[in-house]
Every structure is written in C-alpha cells, then in structure tokens.
Amino acid sequence: FEVEVKKNLVGDGNDLFLDGGFVVPESNAFGQTFRDYDAESERKKSVEEFYRMQHIHQSFDFVKNMREEYGKLDRVEMSIWECCELLNEFIDESDPDLDEPQIEHLLQTAEAIRRDYPNEDWLHLVGLIHDLGKVLLHKKFGELPQWAVVGDTFPVGCGYDESIVHNKYLEQNPDYNNPAFNTKYGIYSERCGLNNVMMTWGHDDYMYLVAKENKTTLPSAGLFIIRYHSFYPLHKSGAYKYLMNDEDDKNLKWLHVFNKYDLYSKSKERVDVEKVKPYYLSLIKKYFPEKLRW
C-alpha cells in the first residue's frame, strides 16, 4: 500500500501538500509488522526489559539533572560527520525493527527523503542527524545505559498517557503517585507549547540541545523533528496535543512526514556511504559550524 506523501514545493517548513509518493514496505528486518511490541521476535524480551527500566528511572528529577549536566556541552568538540562515524558501534536495544549499525539507518532515512523531497535540503540533513544524540552510549559521553538514550519519549511532570508503550511499568516510577505530577496537566498549562515541556531524557533532547546551542540555521521544523521524532504517543496516537501551541501544530505536519521515512526506511537495502558523503558534507557546512561542542 502507499502512504499519501508528495514533494513539498514550498520551502518555509509550514505548508504541506500530500499527494502520493513514498511506498511503505510490508515488513521490517525481522519479517514482522513495524513497531509490533508483542510479536514473538528474537528481540521481544529485551525490548520489554528496556522499557521496564526506562519507565522506572525516567523521573522528572532525573530528566532535570541530565539536561543540566549534558546541556553544558563540555565533553567533546567534533564535526557532525565524525559523530556519524562514532555511531557505527551501536545497535538500538529499544527498536523492534532494526539490527543494522546506526549510520546505515541514518543514510537510509536521509536518502529516502531526498528522493521524494529534492528541494527540501534541510529535511535531508535532519534525516542524517536526527539520531546523533545516541553518542550518549559512547564512553566519551559517560556510556549511559540504553534506557537513558533511546526508546519512545513522553512528557515528565504531568500524567502518563495510556498510549505509552509497556505503560504498566510506569506505576513503579517515583512520579506516578506524586500529586504535583500525576494530573492531566501536572506542572504545565493548556497550549503552553512543547518547548516548555520536559521530555524523558535521551538522544532526541540531547541532539536538540547540541544543534540549538551550536547555532544551527535549520528551520524551526527541523529542530522540532530532532527533538520529538521519538515522541510516538503524540505523532502515532495523538496524545498530549493539549500541550501544543500554534507553532507546534505547524511543525507536527513535518514530523508526520519525517516519521514515515524514519520508521519505514529501516530495510536491508545498503547505502553506498562514500558515494553520498560529499552531498551530506555540503549540507552540514550550510547549516552547522565545522566543529560543534558536544
């Protein structure tokens, strides 16, 4: 079947026209449907254990402390491409669809977007860099456990939505019975804007901080995609929309487009890294400084 996606001819990151294009594969690398956390795959038990650990430990205080610590960006200075190469060492334990090194997935995503949206070069680059925050797994970045780096994200500081995967384990989180945090809005207010909402800590939020603090010239939609591409309760189930403001509404359209490529480009089709490298180096130069603080 086909997902209705067409090349966007307007480059401001706001307007979106859907009209045929991207063909979704029928099954993931393991032969199951995508994001099926109940499928009896070889990864099922490890994925569930991952989410048990994430849900227990990702409290409001934990997230606050991690943002303060890693927001200093005082660990390494390196280029975007150097970071891409670092990711070759890791496989994401939270992902039921993927067992390839990360740089393969990054380039598969970017190249699929590039084919369908040739004029939106910022979106190609977001495809390449959206997962670079996974360097938090590396020893240079503290070798954080996978539950503090990958997996679906969701807000902390307010009530948990039932769409959160393996949500039964959230009952063991210290915030679960905290009256300041366990109501619908918690510490937030209606339409306060996602930029004012604390999300579970991981590679999304970290790469957002890296891009923002290094003065990227990516459009607002690009930063939104980087920060919320793992926020599946929102873009898959429509949860937490009551926290979004007008700018979030516009950017969510782009996240829906991006997410199809992020999710469904996980395939066995290999990308010739050296062939496409010059193009992506040119995009990096356009939107980022040569060296970034991480």
Measure the CA–CA gap between 238 and 169, rounded to whole angstroms: 21
Measure the CA–CA gap between 186 and 183, rounded to whole angstroms: 5
Longest dimension (CA), the chain: 55
Is 67 annotated as contributing to ligand binding? no
Is 166 annotated as contributing to ligand binding? no
Q: What is the mean pLDDT of residues 211-227?
A: 98
Is 74 annotated as contributing to ligand binding? no
Measure the CA–CA gap between 271 and 197, rounded to whole angstroms: 37
Is 262 annotated as contributing to ligand binding? yes
Say what the pLDDT of residue 6 is.
Answer: 34
Confirm whether 212 is domain-assigned.
yes
Q: Which of 165, 163, 155 is nearest to 195 (CA)?
A: 155
Confirm whether 9 is domain-assigned.
no
Confirm whether 262 is domain-assigned.
yes
- Of 28-42, 166-180, 204-218, least confident by mean pLDDT is 28-42
Is 131 annotated as contributing to ligand binding? yes
Say what the pLDDT of residue 36 is.
Answer: 52
Which residue do the tokens 């919320």 mark? 228
Q: How many domains does the chain have?
A: 1
Confirm whether 27 is domain-assigned.
no
Which amino acid, residue 54? Q
Residue with the bigger pLDDT between 78 and 99: it is: 78
Is 152 annotated as contributing to ligand binding? yes
Give me 12's structure tokens: 């401001």
- pTM, two decimal places: 0.84
Which residues does residue 199 pair with via DSSP β-bridges, in sequence order?
155
Is 138 annotated as contributing to ligand binding? no
CA 37 from centre of chain: 18
Is 105 annotated as contributing to ligand binding? yes
Confirm whether 4 is domain-assigned.
no
Domain membership of residue 88 as a residue range = 43-293
Confirm whether 181 is domain-assigned.
yes
Is 246 annotated as contributing to ligand binding? no
Measure the CA–CA gap between 18 and 20, rounded to whole angstroms: 7
Confirm whether 17 is domain-assigned.
no
Confirm whether 253 is domain-assigned.
yes
Measure the CA–CA gap between 139 and 121, rounded to whole angstroms: 32
CA dihedral (39, 42, 44, 45) in degrees, to 10, reads: 140
Judged against a pLDDT cut of 90, whether residue 241 lies above it is answered with yes
pLDDT category at 103 given cuts 50, 70, 90 is confident
Is 229 annotated as contributing to ligand binding? yes
Judged against a pLDDT cut of 50, whether residue 2 lies above it is answered with no
- Of 30-44, 136-150, 237-251, least confident by mean pLDDT is 30-44
Say what the pLDDT of residue 87 is.
Answer: 85
Residue with the bigger pLDDT between 25 and 141: it is: 141
